[in-house]
A and B are shown apart, each in its own frame.
Chain A
Amino acid sequence: MRRYARLFAVQVRASALLAMQYRVDFVIDGMLSAFSAGVALIPLFVVFTHRTSIEGWTFGEALVVTGWFTLLQGVLEGAINPSLTTVVDHIRKGTLDFVLLKPADAQFMVSTARFLPWRAMSIVTALGIFVLAFVRLGRLPSLTGVLLSLAMLVAAIALLYSLWILTVSAAFYVVKIDNLTFLFGSIFDFARWPSSLFRGVVGFVFTFILPLALMTTYPAEALLGRLRLSTFLGSLVAAVGFVTFARLVWKSSIRRYTSASS
């Protein structure tokens, strides 16, 4: 465990060094992430200029969902995406060999290979959105709400990461997964809306198969103090299940890689 903590530190250090090699990128990255967070709010303003609530969500409440969306998008783009796109590169160039030759877990090594620290700006933006939301609502979140929502944040990140690992595992089979990652990005975009907006088949898919609800709506409900205990526990179980499943798929993909490539 301590060994992996040290490895993690070394990997983060390398990412920080890389980020500093390109100072201009640093600044542009920061500006872009603030900009995209701002843009994320526009659809919400458009919808709520004509009505005061949609599907039982007031403007303030919907803002909380957007806050979570912004936060998770920051995590996705800053910590999950960059590492896992490097894996795809490794697979294509055959340099994954070097990762597999190392006496350290390959999934850990590739998952921590690259961070874009400037994307952490999204976290600041998200906090700003939360403040704005609770000002609109005219109250403060309860302590239990905050704690529950933090637990949900961990579950949401675990889930997002697992979905990414599953997408990347596909790269072992199809090699060119640019389209797949693009698809992933556009589906994730739906998470900016409260999940009760989606009905029927789509609603079912977003709740149980690609649990977008778990990523943004449930943490928002937790923060608003209205998440049911059963949903909370169910989410934790789902997160653990997804992490385990992703791990198994990754392992079998690696086996396939090592037994097939030349």
Chain B
Amino acid sequence: MITVRDLAKHYRVHERAPGMANALRSLFHRKYKTVRAVDGVSFEIGAGERVGFLGPNGAGKTTTLKVLSGLLHPTGGEVRVDGHIPQTRERAFLEKITLVMGQKQQLIWDLPPAETFELNRAIYGVSPADFRETISELTTLLELEELVKKPTRELSLGERMKCELAAALVHRPRVLFLDEPTIGLDVSMQVVIRDFIKRYNERWNATLILTSHYMDDVAALCPRVIVIDKGKLSFDGSLTDLVQRIRPEKRVVLRFDRAVSASEVEMFGKVVERTELSATLQVAQDAVREAVSGALARLPVADLTVESPPLEEVMSELFARSRSEREASA
């Protein structure tokens, strides 16, 4: 469905040092530098896949999404989405895709969302019967009933996001690019949006690329993740593999009946966190069984769980590693 080969997007930006003298100088002699927002990224995504794009701010995630949706012309490389070259912006291509941006909205501010739906219906040439069906489905799934008749400006952020999603799906796109769709939403609303996206993907076998700062979004939605850092691809595979590679250790979380001293706990693994009545240990995967049986035998354990390290930690470790690798090679 999506093929990206050696994608590069470079910007030439004008650069100057602070201060009045430099500002004056830059009026006449401009210095430019090239920013490599995306620099040689390749991947393939099959129809119906759900893929998470991860990376720190400025990694090139949004730029990649914009190239894929035809908004930006790539500097180099080749991109195909369902056989189309995105930047030529053919009608057939645009009718298949949608881009949802958590930070920008397309709903007409002073009119109820239903009017934007209607406008999009006309733009995409959706037949009235299909439109009614899609809208009633979206209305049920996202609980829009009460919202679509109120002017957009009177809706809360979460309500607006639900309507944004509906507006972006009026034409039943087969490829969804979602750029931080849950940004700024509370946890329960994040769950609603997430569930909805998953159902849409399953119902229409839609291909989906998602960027998000909330690891829960990615963990819940995307069996596969692509990690981009400084414009380069640093991981492409399943989320489990990513965690395995970066943090193969497991977390053993213990809760005790009575106070336990540090020295008693230390013998079972590396202590990440400890109070008198609880401890979290980091244990290599092949040593988990031994550590658990040992702790159960020798400590007053009231409760025990084995967990994977939090995704946030895995990510920051990954970025720290690739940064130090870059510094080492430089």
Contacts and interface: CB of A to CB of B under 8 A. Distances in A.
A206 B97 CA distance: 47
Contacts of A104: 123
Contacts of B97: 101
Given A10-B122, A93-B104, A258 B110 contact: no
How many of chain A's residues touch chain B, expressed as a range? 20 to 34
B222 to A, nearest CB: 23
Given A3-B125, A104-B123, A259-B73, A97 B110 contact: no
B31 interface: no
Interface stretch (A11-19, A66-74, A117-125, A211-219): A11-19
B71 A11 contact: no
Given A18-B111, A103-B91, A95 B37 contact: no
Contact of B110 (A3, A21, A101): A21
Contact of A258 (B73, B91, B105, B108): B73
B171 to A, nearest CB: 9
How many of chain B's residues touch chain A, expressed as a range? 20 to 34
Nearest to A100: B71
7 contacts: A10-B119, A17-B115, A22-B110, A100-B71, A103-B123, A103-B124, A262-B63
A261 B101 CA distance: 15
Contacts of A97: 66, 71, 99, 101, 104
Given A14-B115, A103-B124, A262 B11 contact: yes
A259 B89 CA distance: 13
Nearest to A254: B89
B151 interface: yes
A51 interface: no
A7 B124 CA distance: 10
A258 B86 CA distance: 12
A103 B94 contact: yes
A98 interface: yes
Interface in A75-128: 93-95, 97-98, 100-104, 109
Interface string B102-119: 001110101100010011
Nearest to B177: A101
B246 interface: no
B62 A262 contact: yes
Q: Which 8 A-B pairs have the closest CB atoms?
A: A103-B94, A98-B106, A10-B122, A103-B91, A259-B73, A102-B123, A103-B95, A104-B123
Instruction: Give the secondary structure class of B's interface.
Output: mixed
B183 to A, nearest CB: 15
Interface of A: 3, 6-7, 10-11, 14, 17-18, 21-22, 93-95, 97-98, 100-104, 109, 255, 258-262
Instruction: Give the secondary structure class of A's interface.
Output: helix
Interface string B59-103: 000110010011111000000000000010101001101110100
Given A101-B71, A103-B91, A104-B123, 11 more contacts: A7-B122, A11-B119, A18-B110, A18-B111, A93-B104, A97-B99, A97-B101, A98-B104, A98-B106, A101-B99, A255-B73
Interface in B123-153: 123-125, 151
Contact of B104 (A21, A95, A100, A103): A95
B84 to A, nearest CB: 12
A109 B124 CA distance: 13
Contact of A17 (B105, B111, B123): B111
Interface string B195-213: 0000000000000000000
B105 A95 contact: yes
A98 B110 CA distance: 17
Contact of A7 (B37, B70, B89, B123): B123
Nearest to B35: A262
Contacts of A93: 104
A11 B116 CA distance: 10
A100 B89 contact: yes
A255 to B, nearest CB: 8
A14 B119 contact: yes
A28 B147 CA distance: 31
Interface string B30-46: 00000001000000000
B291 to A, nearest CB: 48
Contacts of B101: 97
B70 A101 contact: yes
